[in-house]
Amino acid sequence: MSHKLYVGNIAYTVGEQELTDVFSQHGEVKSVKIITDQETGRSKGFGFVEMGTTDEVASCIENCNGVDVGGRTLRVNEAIEKNNRSSGGGRNFNSRDRY
């Protein structure tokens, strides 16, 4: 299990310090990163929180998922590493699939 959490449905007015305050109630917060639009600098409404241990990750998922922060209900899940995600569309072909 990774020590990183995906946090979705973040209110646009919520900053990294406010998320740190919420998650630090459940363990050591190593880092918080809210993803922003490159052109406008505005929050995209999701981000990542890195915790110290897997037990802290589990505690955050259990206790922070569904919590209201800034008027929106957070969605908290274990983050999936980018290279482990499927391509999201269509079928992935490999050499065995070719004729």
For residues 67 and 11, is the Cβ–Cβ distance under 8 A?
A: no
What whole-number distance in Å separates Cα of residue 79 and Cα of residue 34? 14
Grade residue 86 by pLDDT with cuts at 50, 70 and 90: low
Average pLDDT over residues 15-31: 97
CATH architecture, domain defined by 4-79:
2-Layer Sandwich (3.30)
pTM of the model: 0.80
How many residues can be counted in the chain?
A: 99
What whole-number distance in Å separates Cα of residue 60 and Cα of residue 64? 5
User: Per residue in 32-76, pLDDT tens?
Assistant: 999 999 999 999 999 999 999 999 999 999 999 999 999 999 999
Grade residue 82 by pLDDT with cuts at 50, 70 and 90: confident
Q: Are strands 29-36 and 4-8 parallel, antiparallel or unpaired?
A: unpaired
**Residue 77 corresponds to which amino acid?**
N
